Amino acid sequence: MTIIKCTQEIIARLLTDLEQADHGHAADAATVGNCVQICAEAVQQINAAVETQEFTDTDEQIHFFRKLRPQIDGRLFYYLQLLRLLAATPVTGLADKQKTYREEVDKITNFRNDNKEFLLYCELNFDFLDLYYFTRSTTVFHFSGQVTIADKRYYAPKSHEMAADTGYRLLEQYLDKLMYGADMHKWSQAPGREHGGLQWTGTIAALTELAYAVNELGMLGGRKLEINKLAEFFERIFGIRFINIYKAYEGIRIRKRQRTPFLDALRTALVARFEYDDAHCK
C-alpha cells in the first residue's frame, strides 16, 4: 500500500470516528477531550506510515504535505483550540461569552494577517515554492504564533501553518454558530423586535456580494457606509453573523472567474420570471 493510500484510509477512519464521537456538536470538555485523543491516535498512525514507507517522488511528497496531512493535523489543532476555548468561556453572562468568542476571532484574524502571503499562495493554487514549503527539509523552521508542529522527521516547513489554517477554519465555523446563537438570543429579547420567522438561507459569500453591491450604489441613506456598519445592518435584517466580511469579500475578489455568481443568478432568475409571466399573461 502506498503512503498516499494509507493516509487516505487514516483520514477516512478519523472522520468517521469524529462524527461518531461528537455528532458535529463538541459542546463539552469530555467530548472534545475524546476527540483530541482520536486525532492524536491518527497522528501517531500517520507518523508511523511516514517512518516505514517512502514517497515515490517529490510530487507525491508535496501532495501529502499540502493536501492530506493537514486534514489530520488540522483537526487535532482544532480540538485543542476548542478545549482551550471551553475552559476560557465564562459559564454565565452573555456579554462575557461574546467577548471571549470575539477574542478568538481576533486570534484567527491575527494568524491570517501574519501569514497572508503564504495563505494567498495556497488560495490561488500557486506551486512555484512547493518544493520549499511542502517537502521535508533540514533547514530551520520559522513560525509565527503558537508552535505545535516542528519535528522534521514527519513534517515540512509549512506544516504548522497548514494545520493551523485548517484548524482555524473549523474553529471559525464553530464560533459562527456560537455567536449566531448568542446574537439571536440577544435580539429575541430586544423590545419591539418583530419575528417573521424568516432567515437568510443562502451562503455568507452570496450575502457579501449583495452587501457590497448595495453599498457601492449608495442604496442605504444615499451614500456609502462603513462596511462593518453595513455588516451589522445585514446581520440584524437577515439573522446571520459575519465572522469577517472583509475576508469574505477578499475571497470573492481574488476569484479568477465568476466573481459575482449570486448577483448573476439574481438577474437570471428575475429575467426568467419576466419571461414566464410574459408567456402566460392573458
On whether residue 264 sits in a domain, the answer given is yes
Last residue of a domain, one of 140, 158, 188: 188
Q: Are residues 115 and 79 in the same domain?
A: yes
Burial 94-107 (b: 16+ CB within 10 A, else e): eeebbebbeebbeb
123 and 258 both lie in a single domain: no
pLDDT of amino acid 37: 95
Residues 30 and 103 in one domain: yes
Which of 160, 188, 216 is the last residue before a domain boundary?
188
pLDDT computed for residue 101 by the predictor: 86
Both 35 and 150 in one domain: the answer is yes
Query: Which are the contacts of 145, defined by CB distance < 8 A and separation ≥ 6?
Result: 110, 111, 114, 164
Same domain, 41 and 174: yes
Say if CB 8 and CB 72 are below 8 A apart: no
Residue 196 lies inside a defined structural domain of this protein: no
The residue segments making up the domain with residue 50 are 3-188
The answer to whether residue 14 sits within a structural domain is: yes
pLDDT in tens, the chain (282 residues): 799 999 999 999 999 999 888 765 557 889 999 999 999 999 999 999 999 999 999 999 999 999 999 999 999 999 999 999 999 888 777 778 888 888 888 899 889 989 999 999 998 999 999 999 999 976 655 555 554 566 788 899 999 999 999 999 999 888 877 775 554 445 444 444 444 567 788 888 899 999 999 999 988 888 888 888 888 888 878 877 787 888 888 888 887 778 898 999 999 999 999 988 888 876
- Between CA 155 and CA 47 the distance in angstroms is 9
Do 164 and 267 belong to one domain? no
Please check whether residues 73 and 105 belong to one and the same domain.
yes
Q: How many domains does the chain have?
A: 2
Determine, yes or no, domain membership for 49.
Answer: yes
Q: Which of 122, 41, 24 is nearest to 82 (CA)?
A: 24
Same domain, 220 and 145: no
- For residue 128, being part of any structural domain is answered with yes
pTM recorded for the entire structure? 0.66
Question: In this structure, what is the dihedral angle of CA atoms 228, 233, 236, 242, given to the nearest 10 degrees?
Answer: -30
| Same domain assignment for residues 138 and 28 | yes
Place of cell 453591491: 213
Residues 152 and 220 in one domain: no
On whether residue 269 sits in a domain, the answer given is yes
Whether residue 116 is contained in a domain is answered as: yes
21 and 149 together in one domain? yes
**Nearest partner of 204 among 255, 253, 262, 259, judged by Cα:** 262
Asked if residue 35 is part of any domain, the answer here is yes
